[in-house]
Amino acid sequence: MATRPASKAAPARRAAVPPASGKKALLISGGAPNSSLVAGALVAFIDRGISFDVISTAGAGALMGLLYAAPAGGDPRAALTQWQNVGVDDAIYDWFPINYKVFMKPGAAAASYRNALLASPFTRPLFDTFSSSYMQGPWADWLRLGFAAMSPTDLTANSRGMCAHLPFAAQAVDFSAVPNIAPEFYINAYNTTRGEMTIWGKDAITVEHMQAAFAFPMIYPPYRIGDDEYIEGSAIDTINFKALVSDDPAAPGIHRDLDTLVVFDILGLDKLIRVPRSLYDSWVHSIINPLVQLSKDDVRLFELQHNIDAATGKPKRKLLKVNLTAHIPENHWPKMLDWSASNMKLLFDAGYQAGQTFCDEHPALLTPVASPAASESRSRAAPIDAAVSADATMETQ
């Protein structure tokens, strides 16, 4: 498979040279149910003043990364903290284990219905997820369930997916600010029309690209942009290593001068594979279980094949994995993939502790710099020296 930038000027092909730039990248894997772990860890990074030169994301990692880099309202800490509140109250979830606050009915009528609820001053606090006025608690979740049940839908046996494409994306992310954020930023999606992976840089990312990056089969239908249809990139490539740092002359990475990669991997965990508790839980595991090994293989392949200097046998770059699950109680693991309010909050707290621990372990390596949010009130890290034009989009074929 070859990687080629879709920019006007392709990066020069250079011989592999051990980088020594001091540049850092954050790679965030897919994985929606336990994404609250990532949110908590990112809040810890914000509190410690740490930033990155490059952020590369896949699947649900795209939302977490954009909440960190370009949240609506300009406050990444508040936006990431708010994410833990998308869980369903436990009294409801124990009876009806569906997150109707995240996964919503498809169709034009359903979209109009949601827009009307958002427009009304009486119901807006129930649905403006990232607002400070967002209502929480069991009664608010009961009301949301009632409104969700009354929503129209165009779902039929011929539908290609069950849910609307991330309806709250525009509420969560300030897409107009994305091109101006300090770090280079990437999301991926698999182009099913052409049979190749596509990676969009920050100058190309819109709400549509975000929705395409989330189009996991069956949950969401493929997302059409122009003449092409896309599914979630994380279903194919859970962590996008090669596109950044590959030394393959036929498909050179666009940030080969990076010398530290920090990885948030919430899929490559063997402990996620366990006996399901219900029919619904079985369906969730049918999605997650194959991704566990895929994610582990992605990391291992990068370590053994793409990150070893052939001349010295030593790693070309530091690869640092954040142990996001270190603070999760052993008896809680069967609930790790739940969308319950208690699980989302527990994972957020565990992720925050993991982020703080990581910062303590690497104080010299991760020198504190500015927050990544595009805000005039905050100083920002200098943009990295891009190897391609700012609108670089890569396709793997």
- Joined tokens for residue 183: 């770090």
For the chain, percent of residues with pLDDT exceeding 70: 86
67-71, 136-140, 338-342, 376-380: which has the minimum mean pLDDT?
376-380
Note the pLDDT tens digit of each residue in 101-158: 999 999 999 999 999 999 999 999 999 999 889 999 999 999 999 999 999 999 999 9
Q: How many CB atoms lie within 10 A of CB 312?
A: 9
CA dihedral sign, ordered 76, 124, 85, 54: negative
How far apart CA 260 and CA 19 sit, in angstroms, is 9
pLDDT: is 135 or 317 the higher one?
Answer: 135
Q: How many C-beta atoms lie closer than 10 Å to residue 335's C-beta?
A: 16
pTM of the model: 0.85
What span, in angstroms and rounded, lies between the C-alpha atoms of 168 and 114?
A: 10
> 45, exposed or middle or buried, with CB in 10 Å at 0-12, 13-18, 19+?
buried
- Partnered with residue 117 across adjacent β-strands are none
**pLDDT value at 14 more than 50:** no
pLDDT at 20: 59
Q: For residue 51, what pLDDT band results from cuts at 50, 70 and 90? A: confident
Q: Does residue 2 have a pLDDT over 50?
A: no
Distances from the Cα of 136 to the Cαs of 60, 114, 116, 143, in angstroms? Answer: 23, 18, 20, 11
Question: In the chain, pLDDT over 90 holds for what percent of residues?
Answer: 62
pLDDT recorded at residue 253: 81
* Token reading at 136: 């929480």
Distance spanning both ends of the chain, measured CA to CA: 5
Give the amino acid at 99.
N
Dihedral sign, CA of 223, 228, 233, 236? positive
Whether residue 351 contacts residue 38, with contact meaning beta carbons closer than 8 Å, is answered with yes
Say if CB 108 and CB 155 are below 8 A apart.
Answer: no
CA separation (Å) from 300 to 95, 157, 306, 307, 319?
40, 40, 10, 10, 11
Question: Could you give the dihedral angle defined by the CA atoms of residues 342, 96, 210 and 132, in that order, rounded to the nearest 10 degrees?
Answer: -50
The yes-or-no verdict on residue 10 having pLDDT over 50 is: no
What single letter denotes the amino acid at residue 40?
Answer: G
pLDDT band at 247 (very low <50, low <70, confident <90, very high): confident
Query: Is 203's pLDDT higher than 90?
Result: yes
Predicted local distance difference test score (pLDDT) of residue 250? 76
Q: Is residue 248 very low, low, confident or very high in pLDDT (cuts 50, 70, 90)?
A: confident
User: Tens of pLDDT along 15-41?
Assistant: 444 445 788 999 999 888 889 999 999
pLDDT, one tens digit per residue, over 216-245 is 999 999 999 999 999 999 888 888 777 788
